[in-house]
């Protein structure tokens, strides 16, 4: 752990619990966002997503899609 992060945690410990929870949630969201960016930045993942998007657009153009969400009915 860096010195700066250690200092931030020490100072955060002095804050009210609800503020600590807010900061923890924001930090975890930032970490998850960076993990997601690492995954989708890989060339093979980008190529797969592009292929899926192209296929979805072709289905849309053919009229093979329906308005709605992802719920299973």
pLDDT of residue 67: 83
The mean pLDDT value for 20-35 works out to 97
Torsion sign, CA atoms 27, 30, 36, 37: negative
pLDDT of residue 68: 79
Torsion sign, CA atoms 44, 49, 53, 56: positive
The answer to pTM > 0.75 is no
Ranges of each domain in the chain: 3-62
Place of tokens 């503020």: 19
8 A C-beta contact, residue 3 and residue 11? no
Between CA 46 and CA 39 the distance in angstroms is 9
pLDDT at 73 over 80: no
pLDDT at 72 over 80: no
For residue 72, the number of C-alpha atoms closer than 13 Å in the C-beta half-sphere is: 0
């Amino acid at each position: 752990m860096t010195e700066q992060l250690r200092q931030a945690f020490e100072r955060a410990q002095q804050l009210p619990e609800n503020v600590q929870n807010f900061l923890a949630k924001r930090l975890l969201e930032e970490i998850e966002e960076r993990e997601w960016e690492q995954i989708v930045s890989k060339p093979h993942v980008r190529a797969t997503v592009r292929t899926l998007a192209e296929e979805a657009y072709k289905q849309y153009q053919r009229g093979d899609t329906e308005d709605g969400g992802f719920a299973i009915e």
